[in-house]
Structure 1
């Protein structure tokens, strides 16, 4: 009896291990290409390769996806940092594409960056675990990246994407007119999408937004826990900018910009007089990302919210 129980436990552990590998495979395997959505009304991202499975998001016409692999009539893709399935009939597949995918984080202890998309190409640099590389192209399973001021290629299975592609319009899960036969939603207009700015300020703001949900820790300056000024200091440090530690001291960094002239990446301050008790990073559309408090962690808020509107004291531009 004891032997039978032991065998059953081993089998259960094996099944669990295989399941775990299946779940993470999409994130760690070599990617096969870039897909361009060709559906004037939008295209559903689904949890499984079936029109009856859950809808995770909706891509707009012209949006880009990173294709992990083909599964029958479907592609397993990464769309705006969500892994799911899209019907291949509405995807134009490309093995090579110039595309700004934004920043990615290196996964292994040490990864080689090479002069070409091949393990036989010369070594340009090496990046350690957690290092940020800027991805601006794809070539037969390799990302074309900029790292430490140099251009090179890194295998796509060694990098985790941190941002949605700058050219993507965003995503939506709403819409009522959907054809289950095609997996295609005709309730969206192809003329509604617009390209995002690729300015450095926008890149910095997008990177800041990738930390939404991270914890707040008083005095914290790293992803294990941020306070408000530690958060913006950390984000700017990843782009090579050194700014002061506290919110009030950061009022001396960069230069003043008016409320009407805010652009993504600007620091927005709240407090009284010349003293700042809180700081965040403007992301556009009247919103900012910030390490709010121990209850909310890093979140996005509106400048028009009563607490912030009553305490807004100014903004500073660090880049541009």
Structure 2
């Protein structure tokens, strides 16, 4: 084992000096097929620490144009438990015929192996796809308009949320939240390079007294989770922005909404965020005006077209500070 660890340290040292060429062949030094399972894990832990491959031993990456279905069993008739988005990563736990048993994020299940990049190809691709994120490591993090504590903050983000990093600026990190730029103090986040992982498919807990039409609206909206974000878009399948998403969902139920988050905030009946029911709209701002809209789906969650990095996703309703809510249907 000592020899393996020494080899791993040597490989990582070489990799550090390669810079961008890291993605052009370091995988050839890491043989998952000839090492024992223990040796492979030890090597991976040392070699990939601080890279997009950290935590992976036998990585697979989705080779699809849209989403790859993850099923509970190695059978096309089994329950759908998640979606592996294009270029998302998974740990390959084993194979059963034409199926790969995988773990990605919180989802474990089976996918058709033919739709995965594997081996050296997956390792090299991972370095190209890794995205720099800042994971919040404090209970409530202020997002400020400028990189100084004297600047106003326009939202707060809870512990555990991951923010897309635009630029590291010493004591401050420039981040993207739903397409808006802001600054967070570097001491309160952990910056890492990560790969996208699977999306879970869970049924929302709606609670008592929620009408069938509200459930129908939410279920309709959730089926598009994993699809693309496109600025100015209104297509639920080809891409939509935040207001285009909510507009198109409600259009399916005969309700007309404007294509603007600020304009939608003036529709229906204004309610407090704490009163929100599934189907109600939740609005977020940047300190100056409303700039984002999401749909409440119950259980403290919203579904929304977030940004080009994540697409249509489900988030905690308080993933940033909501500023208002609107009830579009009165039942």
TM more than 0.5: no
TM-score band, normalised by shorter chain: 0.3 to 0.5
TM-score (norm 1): 0.39
TM-score (norm 2): 0.38
